[in-house]
């Protein structure tokens, strides 16, 4: 059972930085982990990856040091155990409505007495029956982290109760969906967004938990850090590639090179 780099750093009140990887290519996961990023965000909510694909990507990551946080879709509780057995270090649960739903996430992601996760112990997280059962159960509960997303104004109203749930490690504010559901799509500097950040910060501080959100730039990161946020998620491979390709177009256009762009 691998120790969580993220949990260790958060326990020391150190900031952690994750990046999102969109493309299902093992070499990208391997390179990112070898470069020493604290974590990789692997999304199974919006992307088409299967658990089998996720398992390959998780295996590639183990060559380096990065944790992998996997996000299933809302309500996919049974999928969590397969994700964790494949070697995920953390579960991010989207669109959490209330504390009862957060407790359900803990129930499926943690072994007794913290939860009711089923035992197999024959997959990568044990690994492969090599750890004594008692040691494995203890390590899995201690090293697995749970991230609960607040993405709806109605959930924000219950963030204090959600943050209080035992087993929830991190409350993650999702400004994208929150802005749409609040009627201010994409207005990331709106006072409703700032107010939500302050409310999440106050709730986790009260209950001794951590919080974070997607980070737009270093100035935004400082704003989150100043509010006590330590769980920072920045950029994605698809954005890095897109920005790089656009930079090539910008550099070569003055030389008379033309491009037929179809995506706008």
pLDDT tens per residue across span 80-136:
999 999 999 999 999 999 999 999 999 999 999 999 999 999 999 999 999 999 999
Ramachandran quadrant class, 42 (left: phi over 0; alpha: psi -120 to 50; beta: rest): beta
pLDDT digits (tens, 9 = 90+) for 186-212: 999 999 999 999 999 999 999 999 999
Q: Which pLDDT value is given to residue 1? A: 86
pLDDT at 172 over 90: yes
Residue 87: predicted pLDDT: 97
Q: What confidence tens digit (pLDDT) does each residue in 40-64 have?
A: 999 999 999 999 999 999 999 999 9
Q: Dihedral angle at the C-alpha atoms of 61, 31, 263, 216, nearest 10 degrees?
A: 80
At the fourth CATH level, which superfamily is domain 5-238?
Phosphoenolpyruvate-binding domains (3.20.20.60)
Say what percent of the chain tops pLDDT 90. Answer: 98
* Cα–Cα separations (whole angstroms), residue 128 to 70, 88, 124, 231: 20, 15, 6, 30
Region 4-26 average pLDDT: 98
Given pLDDT bands bounded at 50, 70 and 90, which one contains residue 264?
low
Each domain of the chain, given as residue ranges in start order, spans: 5-238
Residue whose entry in the numeric block shows the structure tokens 């207005």: 187
Residue 129 — left, alpha, or beta (φ > 0 → left; ψ -120 to 50 → alpha)?
Answer: left
Which helix (H) or strand (E) is 40 found in, with range?
Answer: strand 39-43
- In angstroms, the Cα distances linking 88 to 77, 82, 84 are 15, 9, 5
| Cβ atoms 9, 16 nearer than 8 A | yes
The answer to whether the CB of 3 falls within 8 A of the CB of 219 is no
Q: What is the pLDDT of residue 52?
A: 96
| Closest to 5 (Cα-Cα) out of 35, 49, 27 | 35
pTM of the model: 0.96
Instruction: Give kind and range of the element (H or E) at residue 20.
Output: strand 16-20
């Amino acid at each position: 059972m691998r120790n969580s780099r993220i949990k260790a750093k958060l326990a020391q009140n150190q900031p952690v930085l994750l990046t999102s990887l969109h493309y299902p290519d093992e070499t990208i996961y391997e390179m990112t982990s070898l470069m020493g990023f604290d974590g990789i965000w692997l999304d199974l909510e919006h992307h088409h990856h299967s658990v089998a694909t996720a398992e390959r990507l998780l295996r590639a990551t183990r060559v380096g040091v990065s944790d992998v946080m996997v996000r299933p879709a809302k309500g996919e509780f049974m999928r969590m155990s397969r994700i964790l057995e494949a070697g995920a270090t953390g579960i991010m649960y989207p669109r959490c409505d209330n504390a009862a739903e957060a407790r359900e996430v803990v129930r499926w992601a943690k072994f007794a007495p913290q939860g009711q996760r089923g035992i197999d112990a024959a997959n990568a997280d044990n690994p492969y029956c090599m750890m004594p059962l008692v040691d494995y159960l203890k390590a899995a509960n201690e090293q697995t982290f749970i991230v609960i997303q607040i993405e709806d104004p109605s959930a924000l109203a219950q963030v204090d109760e959600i943050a209080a749930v035992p087993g929830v490690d991190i409350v993650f504010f999702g400004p994208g969906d929150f802005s749409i559901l609040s009627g201010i799509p994409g207005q990331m500097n709106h006072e409703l967004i700032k107010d939500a950040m302050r409310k999440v910060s106050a709730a986790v501080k009260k209950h001794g938990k951590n919080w974070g959100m997607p980070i737009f730039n270093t100035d935004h990161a400082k704003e989150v850090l100043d509010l006590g946020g330590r769980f920072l998620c920045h950029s994605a491979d698809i954005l890095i590639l897109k920005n790089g390709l656009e930079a090539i177009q910008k550099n070569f256009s003055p030389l008379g090179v033309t491009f037929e762009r179809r995506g706008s």
